[in-house]
Amino acid sequence: MTNIILFGPPGSGKGTQAKFLAEKFGLLHISTGDLFRYEIGNNTPLGLEAKSYIEKGALVPDSVTIGMLKNKLDANTDVKGVIFDGFPRTIAQAEALDQLLGASEAEVNGIISLEVAEEEIVQRLLLRGKDSGRADDQDETIIRNRISVYHKETAPVFNFYDTKGKGIKIDGMGDIEAIANRLETAVKAL
């Protein structure tokens, strides 16, 4: 089983590229955003718990997110592997993911970071905001804050895995196909 974390700041193209990699290699694509929408939309116990935190403007505890991941993995035991998109976002989540996978004698095989210049990210997100109508992608101040939070809170996750020899950095600049080709090469190396 090959388990890969696709990593990078908001607007780096993780979602687009995760879908490509999932199709190319027959991996299960797990997006935490999709997980939340599914669990909340289906009023599952974990979805209701997550919704109660979200409605208060609080962060959903890691235990709830990990529970959702466990449910998804338990429902898909026959997959060749998983590409995690948007998770883990903190060292605590990375440790919890390692424990979850370890319980079934699996592990994270690699973390692939899409490296994109900040100005490019800002432009990509502003464009996405125009196309999607997402308010958080239409305000440059909010975008730059999200990037700052990523560097402070999420970027250390790459180092967590890199110190274990599992980190790969990929140039995330250029067209979608060129980036996909670089990612395909990296995944084959895993």
What letter represents residue 67's amino acid? G
Query: Is there a contact between 1 and 79 (Cβ–Cβ < 8 Å)?
Result: yes
Q: How far is CA 19 from CA 6, 8, 9, 95, 134, in A?
A: 11, 15, 17, 25, 21
Sort 89 into a burial class: Cβ within 10 Å, 0-12 / 13-18 / 19+.
middle
Strand, helix or coil for residue 22: helix
The phi, psi pair for 152, rounded to 5°, reads: -75, -45
3-class state of residue 70 by DSSP: helix
Active site residue ranges:
14, 89, 128, 134, 146
Instruction: Sheet with 81-85: list strands edge to edge.
Output: 28-31, 81-85, 2-7, 110-115, 167-171
Of how many residues is the chain composed?
A: 190
